[in-house]
Amino acid sequence: MMKKLCSLLLALLLMTSLCAAEDVVYWICPECGQGANTGNYCTNCATPSPAPSNINENLTQIPGETDHVMVDVLRIDGSSYIKAKKNKYLHAPEKACDEDETTCWQFTAKKNAKEKGWLSMIVEGETVDEIWIRNGIRTADSKGKDQFTLYARPKDIQVLFDYPGSDRLDTMDFTLKENKTDGWEKLDVGRHENVYSVWIVILSVYKGSRKANTTCLSDVMLVQRAPAEIANPPWQ
């Protein structure tokens, strides 16, 4: 009986040691570069261990916002785009997610076209509460004249949310403003958690006065309602 009890105690002691070993966190000193530290201070220079980070690496701060953050788009795809002569990628779909108002995604939107213009933005499991849009082309021409009304821009759009490992698909329809806004046009889509990707399908457009079939979309931002402290600093 005593032999069995000793064996049991030994097994429990071994399991406790293994569990404790798994909980050990190793860290690299930010001051001297000493690795394999496990305590509260660096074994080489006595620098305190860094505090654990609460930052979500998939979120980025929006300048001027304290309770809204940008959901980073990991990959983007879209329908065909108009290729410029000098730079064929100048108007590619990714230009709609570069946070640069001077660039835009340009595509052809003919009336009754079988294939609608679309964007697909992969976020792989994040929460999306709002979609912010800067519609149309927002740069002046070589003479300094505004081009917004010269080109077509999206009017009616459909937003689709899909989820990892699920057949679930949430859809919402919006009509964008016809006139140019000073900043972002903000669409409240409600809270969508664990989103894999967000799709925007262009159902109709406001015609341009001179280039009716060339449709422009400057920026799309996926937004989460969350404190700025949990997001990375803005990259611009």
Structure tokens at 53: 């980070």
Model pLDDT, residue 15: 52
For residue 217, the domain's CATH number is: 2.60.120.260
Answer whether residue 79 is part of any domain: yes
CA–CA separation, 166 vs 61, rounded Å? Answer: 30
- 83 and 160, same domain (yes or no): yes
Task: Label the pairing between strands 56-61 and 231-232.
Answer: parallel
- 76 and 161, same domain (yes or no): yes
* Number of domains the chain contains: 2
Answer whether residue 1 is part of any domain: no
Model pLDDT, residue 77: 96
CA–CA separation, 134 vs 85, rounded Å? Answer: 25
Residue (of 43, 45, 195, 215) closest to 131 by Cα position? 195
User: Tokens 């966190």 — which residue?
Assistant: 25
Model pLDDT, residue 210: 83
Rounded average pLDDT per 10-residue block, the chain, 236 residues = 51 49 69 86 87 84 96 95 92 95 90 78 97 96 92 96 95 97 96 98 92 90 96 82
**Domain extent for 30:** 19-52
pTM of the entire structure?
A: 0.78
172 within 8 A of 158, measured Cβ to Cβ: yes
